[in-house]
Chains A and B, each alone.
Chain A
């Protein structure tokens, strides 16, 4: 699953055209997955693989899965192109994917105020009902402010923190910790930070916040958090772990067939145990 994300994110996550190029890869991968199973010669085939080979995923379903992925992850242009190519009905109206995309883009480029405003335009209830999400956005905004101040005057950051973040921190232990941690960025030099503080300044924080926002919006709009394929991958991993746990007769290793590197499996099976 991490590979899947990598396929898209390699292109910077925001480049629509390269996303559609990756899409071709994606589909190839899925096709390969099918053919990999059926290609093996019957004589060496494990009983399980034989059964897999007999099952054919209908092309329609595979296409729907891909469209779902593109829509949910927020690639409107790629989704539109794919729809045209595969002759599918769009899953969500274009504007809704677009506004999600805009919000993502604003967060990724550190423009949090725009993002909050756009989010309110899309659906004001999201931030109203989700204090955690609102807090993480505001904290990200604080980080951006501190970053802008650099070693200069930190007054704007301090004011922002005391007006917008501190009131909330009083209501929740976790908020308080996060705020304190963030505020220490004001004190210490940015060049020699401890790793957990350095993480705040890296683009990871933007990325995780952006995906939190995306999930929240999706949940409001579709009652789902993530693309269906993520769940499928986890389910497959869970099934494999539990089958192995019960000593069912399985081949040594089961590959997704996405690429030659099969180490991916170890990690996603851990995740599977958490989510199911």
Chain B
């Protein structure tokens, strides 16, 4: 046996005859272990974990458990039976081992410590001390898991275990506990902390919302509102009418931590509209923040608003400031906002949608995390004009009146609510003036040198840890907040954020002196080969990172996110970022083991050096986690939206090759990010096209296009679409061949998949039925589907309803509305059919775009050649048939019993989902129509023969005619261009045919429609093109 002789203490623990004997031994062990890392290691090797786990589990199973139950029932917090004492000591020992760092995680997991600990977190069966110790142990294990080197995966295992139904119930019980006892408060803090650290995936976030954890945290938040004395005046009265008054919580007890509650809430809500709405309509929040009219006792309180209004910077005309608004300074609002968004949707939306087109259109296409829900729900928005919850101005007030971590976390939650559209549009100005400067200030205040001793320490002091958390989170919040708002980016820019973020990014690449904590000296020679042998439960894993290194890497990731966010919209900020010299750092962040960031001059020499560095393992710059690499890809993509940056800086820094390499990264999420970056590197006239072609990018992208991961598919097709524009005919043909014409046809015609999605919803079966069983669809989607499956049989019930007195719930129209709205939002966000449809549409759009660009050629000869080639490859009639199909209004899903609100028809045809009860009407999406029309435009741009061919597609043209009144100006523009091309007169020889075409088009009624556009379209470009088309149709000229 490899194990050294068993120490007497261990056998004493194992064979103790009574609990008190065991407790004595455990106590002795505790004194021996606490604070002694070497002894902890030795004890692990002695196999201490197994007996500890056995004690915890035996405890739960054994019939003597009833005895252990006593103290918690009699409620004597000071007293513990021997039995419970043993449990407590075990948990303390486990917590102490977990402090040893990442190396201890391997044995901890191998011994099954986590399930054993979770079996004792329920406050119903265990005394307070035991629950507290168990939570501490979990919290320590989590902290160590955060320091594991790449590929640990412990964090996700922990969250899967903790957010399953049993433990979640225990967590909720802890959070709802009304006791003021300091131990209970600490339990709550630990639970909130665990949620903030572990709840990262939408699956867990929804699970916590559904389990009522979101409600309990909301109640805690409301208790802070009460203790700060900031309940909206009149809430009492409003509460009596709707029965919510009873739900108003007591003031927050001492020991409760506002920052932790806010952090946990913002973690759960994240970027979801559903969960934002859930928080806002949580009974406790509604009871302290009802929407009531407020008249200030003194009229002069309104003076500031009146003054702004008088000068044209206010909007008192439309609504009165609420009570909480009087806690904030009045902020001037340009008239632009005051018109309200209802008059705005088409234009306002297309603008933000262009931003989205670049930044990822749904949660599948992770970029800045904007959710699809937001795009589509706009139609729902219009009909219920709900007042903004006072929680939003209160959070702004909180940002202003608190400091440090509380300020950051308040801003984080505020960001979630603002981004998911629950704030009135004028709030954007308030955020720009009142919140962004404070956040920038926080960054400046907390940007301090880290002393060398802290850099090497295995533990950091709470103060330092807080300071780091503030830095990291502030960057994150800023990145999310300014993401796609020009006003907020301007505000951040004015606060000098670009300089700041460049500095922070550079600081995060300060070489780190040591990689791991210095080993303590030992008086005996160390047995080095102990790591290799023995049972898994007795074997230590590799050491983790130092907290300081982990902090640097998180800073790197967050800084890159902020760079991305600042670069999404404006050319000026992109240039400013490049001038701040951040590109070398982005390039290094693209590799797992970065080297020293270099200026372009040093670049060529270092090319080989970096490859070596990649294999070399530890580097003084710390390993880049996948999250960092992805953030760097996104930053590249955002910067590359400015062609001049692609041509100069990015090219000089040789960014193409690292990105190309990442296209083959083992992790799918990194591949998606890399392919999104490559999209913008392959645009027209990019100098990187050549080298990337040489590196075989076509083959890689075509493979990705065939992938089953929708995100990867979309980005790959998108990149190919950009790429073909740069190629000559031969290469274009090769590219099409590589992509397989048959596959492409399948892709763009595959509307059946939508029907299938419906069926998938009815049957517990995978969405995509494919030949390839090992598909690499991302985890989230699959699980969301399962989760959805579970309760799709009965309709979803708002968990908070259980808190509300039934009489009130039945009587209050408001509560029923809320419940209904939540149900709809949940459906919109979680429905796999809806998500699948959105994915399909986005992918088809790129597929059509690819064909469109394939046909776009400068010279008529090659153009004609290409069109003919396409016809032979795809089949002429088949192609036209598919295109016509795309334009048809389809009715899908006889299975669509829940389909109505899920109909992804928000922007199509303006009709909304007006189908029958169990069918779904899908209107053609404008983006699809636009791309499709341009395919025809290009066909009609060549020889008269092709024009003739297009005119002959009567059915297709008739369907197109239906889109003359499309809301989307792009569609109308494309249509006019099509008729300009169709009516084009090639030469004298073509005159007869041309007038024939004109006649045909007139017969189909297009001339009248074009004249209509010429007269009355809102878009100048459309009018001009319509005019040209009409003129040509009437008198064809050469």
- B99 and A125: CB pair below 8 A? yes
Least CB separation from B100: chain A residue: A128
| A260 proximal to B (CB < 8 A) | no
Least CB separation from A166: chain B residue: B521
State the CA gap A167–B40 with chains docked (Å): 14
Which of A116-124, A140-148, A199-207 participates in binding chain B? A116-124
Mask, B523-566, CB within 8 Å of A = 1, is: 10000000000000000000000000000000000000000000
State the CA gap A93–B180 with chains docked (Å): 12
State the CA gap A55–B458 with chains docked (Å): 49
- B523 and A120: CB pair below 8 A? no
Least CB separation from B89: chain A residue: A124
Distance in angstroms from B26 CB to nearest chain A CB is 11
- A171 and B520: CB pair below 8 A? yes
Partner of A167, one of B78, B182, B517, B522: B522
- B31 and A116: CB pair below 8 A? yes
Partner of A166, one of B34, B78, B136, B523: B523
- B95 and A124: CB pair below 8 A? yes
The answer to whether residues A127 and B182 also contact, given A167-B522, A170-B520, A171-B518 and a CB cut-off of 8 A, is no
Interface centre among B36, B38, B456, B519 (most CB of A within 10 A): B36
Least CB separation from A169: chain B residue: B521
The answer to whether residues A171 and B517 also contact, given A125-B95, A128-B99, A131-B459 and a CB cut-off of 8 A, is yes
- By a CB distance below 8 angstroms, the chain A residues around B36 are 164
Mask, A98-140, CB within 8 Å of B = 1, is: 0000000000000000001100110011011111001000000
| A168 proximal to B (CB < 8 A) | yes
Distance in angstroms from B52 CB to nearest chain A CB is 14
Least CB separation from B99: chain A residue: A128
- B462 and A163: CB pair below 8 A? no
| B35 proximal to A (CB < 8 A) | yes
- By a CB distance below 8 angstroms, the chain B residues around A221 are 182
The answer to whether residues A127 and B34 also contact, given A95-B78, A172-B453, A221-B182 and a CB cut-off of 8 A, is yes
Mask, A144-181, CB within 8 Å of B = 1, is: 00000000000000000011101111111110000000
| A-B contacts at CB below 8 angstroms, number | 61
- B34 and A120: CB pair below 8 A? yes
Distance in angstroms from A144 CB to nearest chain B CB is 17
The answer to whether residues A128 and B35 also contact, given A167-B520, A169-B521 and a CB cut-off of 8 A, is yes
Partner of B31, one of A120, A134, A168, A170: A120
State the CA gap A174–B457 with chains docked (Å): 13
- By a CB distance below 8 angstroms, the chain B residues around A128 are 34-35, 95-96, 99
Partner of A124, one of B92, B182, B462, B519: B92
- B99 and A129: CB pair below 8 A? yes
- By a CB distance below 8 angstroms, the chain B residues around A125 are 95-96, 99, 136
| A219 proximal to B (CB < 8 A) | yes
- By a CB distance below 8 angstroms, the chain B residues around A93 are 182
- By a CB distance below 8 angstroms, the chain A residues around B518 are 170-172
CB-contacts of B107-125 with A (<8 A):
none
Partner of A162, one of B31, B136, B520, B523: B523
- A219 and B34: CB pair below 8 A? no
Mask, B448-482, CB within 8 Å of A = 1, is: 00000100111100100000000000000000000
- B30 and A124: CB pair below 8 A? yes
- By a CB distance below 8 angstroms, the chain B residues around A129 are 99, 459
Q: Number of residues in A with C-beta < 8 Å to the partner?
A: 29
- By a CB distance below 8 angstroms, the chain B residues around A121 are 27
Distance in angstroms from B95 CB to nearest chain A CB is 7
- By a CB distance below 8 angstroms, the chain B residues around A163 are 523
State the CA gap A116–B36 with chains docked (Å): 13
State the CA gap A16–B523 with chains docked (Å): 44
State the CA gap A67–B319 with chains docked (Å): 50
Mask, B58-101, CB within 8 Å of A = 1, is: 00000000000000000000100000000000001001100100
- A170 and B99: CB pair below 8 A? no
Distance in angstroms from B367 CB to nearest chain A CB is 38
- B31 and A117: CB pair below 8 A? yes
- By a CB distance below 8 angstroms, the chain A residues around B95 are 124-125, 128
Partner of A130, one of B27, B31, B92, B459: B459
CB-contacts of A60-112 with B (<8 A):
92-93, 95
- By a CB distance below 8 angstroms, the chain B residues around A219 are 462
Least CB separation from A134: chain B residue: B35
State the CA gap A130–B522 with chains docked (Å): 20
Mask, A212-233, CB within 8 Å of B = 1, is: 0000000101000000000000
- A124 and B96: CB pair below 8 A? yes
The answer to whether residues A131 and B35 also contact, given A170-B519, A171-B517 and a CB cut-off of 8 A, is yes
- By a CB distance below 8 angstroms, the chain A residues around B27 are 117, 121
- B521 and A170: CB pair below 8 A? yes
State the CA gap A93–B35 with chains docked (Å): 27
- By a CB distance below 8 angstroms, the chain A residues around B92 are 124
- By a CB distance below 8 angstroms, the chain B residues around A172 are 453, 518
- By a CB distance below 8 angstroms, the chain B residues around A170 are 518-521
State the CA gap A108–B738 with chains docked (Å): 82
- B38 and A167: CB pair below 8 A? yes
State the CA gap A171–B453 with chains docked (Å): 10
- A120 and B30: CB pair below 8 A? yes
Mask, B507-522, CB within 8 Å of A = 1, is: 0000000000111111
- A127 and B35: CB pair below 8 A? yes
State the CA gap A170–B458 with chains docked (Å): 14
State the CA gap A107–B38 with chains docked (Å): 25
- By a CB distance below 8 angstroms, the chain B residues around A171 are 456, 517-520
State the CA gap A129–B465 with chains docked (Å): 12
Distance in angstroms from A218 CB to nearest chain B CB is 13
- By a CB distance below 8 angstroms, the chain A residues around B519 are 170-171
- By a CB distance below 8 angstroms, the chain B residues around A174 are 453
State the CA gap A263–B92 with chains docked (Å): 49
Distance in angstroms from B31 CB to nearest chain A CB is 5
State the CA gap A169–B522 with chains docked (Å): 10
State the CA gap A163–B520 with chains docked (Å): 11
State the CA gap A170–B36 with chains docked (Å): 14
Distance in angstroms from A127 CB to nearest chain B CB is 4
- By a CB distance below 8 angstroms, the chain A residues around B522 are 167
State the CA gap A140–B456 with chains docked (Å): 25
- A167 and B35: CB pair below 8 A? no
Distance in angstroms from A215 CB to nearest chain B CB is 12
State the CA gap A128–B140 with chains docked (Å): 11
- By a CB distance below 8 angstroms, the chain A residues around B457 are 131
State the CA gap A164–B39 with chains docked (Å): 10
State the CA gap A144–B531 with chains docked (Å): 38
State the CA gap A120–B133 with chains docked (Å): 13
Interface centre among A117, A125, A128, A166 (most CB of B within 10 A): A128
State the CA gap A170–B521 with chains docked (Å): 6
Distance in angstroms from A227 CB to nearest chain B CB is 16
- By a CB distance below 8 angstroms, the chain B residues around A120 are 30-31, 34
State the CA gap A125–B38 with chains docked (Å): 17
State the CA gap A173–B455 with chains docked (Å): 13
State the CA gap A125–B140 with chains docked (Å): 10
State the CA gap A250–B88 with chains docked (Å): 58
Distance in angstroms from A226 CB to nearest chain B CB is 15
The answer to whether residues A124 and B520 also contact, given A131-B459, A172-B453, A219-B462 and a CB cut-off of 8 A, is no
Least CB separation from B522: chain A residue: A167
Distance in angstroms from B521 CB to nearest chain A CB is 4
Closest 3 CB pairs between A and B? A170-B521, A167-B520, A127-B35
Knowing that A117-B27, A131-B35, A162-B523 are A-B contacts, what are 5 other residue pairs whose CB atoms are under 8 Å apart, sorted by A's residue number?
Answer: A124-B30, A125-B95, A127-B35, A128-B34, A167-B522
**A and B contact pairs by CB, cutoff 8 A, 29 listed:** A92-B182, A93-B182, A117-B31, A120-B34, A121-B27, A124-B95, A125-B96, A125-B99, A125-B136, A127-B34, A127-B35, A128-B34, A128-B35, A128-B96, A130-B459, A131-B457, A131-B459, A167-B520, A167-B521, A167-B522, A168-B520, A170-B520, A170-B521, A171-B456, A171-B520, A172-B453, A172-B518, A174-B453, A219-B462
Q: Which residues of B contact A (CB under 8 A)?
A: 27, 30-31, 34-36, 38, 78, 92, 95-96, 99, 136, 182, 453, 456-459, 462, 517-523
